[in-house]
Amino acid sequence: MMNNSLPEEIEIYRDRTWRREEESRVESAVEAEKLIEVVGFCAGLTDARRPGPSLYISVCGRRDAHMPRNVQKDPESSLAWRIKDEVMRRGRVYYAKLARGRSTFVAPRLLPHFHALWGIPRKEESTRLSNEARSVLKVLRREWEMATSDLRGSAGVADRPTFTRALDELQKSMKVVPADVLYEPSFTYIWMLSEGRFAKELSVKVKREDALREVARAFLNGAGMTVCGELAKVTGLTRPDAGRGNRALVAERYAERLAQGVYRLADLDERLSA
């Protein structure tokens, strides 16, 4: 964990903004969507051992929530899982495995910025995507959506681990998202093109430096203060890129630099007293 050195007032601020309190905990898909819109992006089912906002922690309503080994029999884990599935199914916010293979929710307002950082232009697909990923993408562009097993067969990727890596690759590059999940008669995801749900947002062109700034802004707005390496660990950005984003906030006086890698909101005192 990275937050051991945070002042208690910062933890309390995060309790409020990340809904880590009993009275504000998330209990439905609608409340989860509101959380994601406020924070900009958050993890799906991470617990207190990883930094950043998390749907699971917000469902638990406490900052020290730990995912149990037997999640099927745990009511909080089960509720978080059901809400995650429902949010994915509703399609009002973006959900996929993004940087470093982490399942992440992203508010539509931040999609142009995430896409500027991790998306791959169509003209670069032949050089930046694997053959298997391009085969899967070709099928989805023809069929629009498809269940996992059918997609693997149509793409001609016989090896299951190779197919899984191809899907992860397409999610990370923001080409494909899981649109639904079915548990009966057998477990499977339904996959579709990202642009099928978020064509408008993904078509917006954003400069890389602007994207770094806005991703940093979204995190700092909810965190109040960031410690060294925290933004990079939460988002999957490199530390130099995370630093560029934070320094851009300092340049516009949205943030203050306290030490190397440590930043806080310029108006944090006012927010804490509100």
Percentage of residues of the chain with pLDDT beyond 90: 91
- pLDDT averaged over the chain? 95
- pLDDT for 231: 97
Asked if 255 contacts 266 with a C-beta cutoff of 8 angstroms, the reply is yes
Q: State pLDDT tens for residues 212-266.
A: 999 999 999 999 999 999 999 999 999 999 999 999 999 999 999 999 999 999 9
Asked if 171 contacts 114 with a C-beta cutoff of 8 angstroms, the reply is no
pLDDT at 196 over 90: yes
Helix axes 160-172, 131-143, angle to 10 degrees: 70
Asked if 224 contacts 14 with a C-beta cutoff of 8 angstroms, the reply is yes
- pLDDT for 3: 47
Asked if 145 contacts 196 with a C-beta cutoff of 8 angstroms, the reply is yes
Domains and CATH numbers, the chain: 8-106 (no CATH), 121-203 (1.10.10.10), 208-273 (1.10.10.10)
Residues 6+ apart with CB under 8 A from 125: 134, 137
- pLDDT for 69: 83
- pLDDT for 274: 78
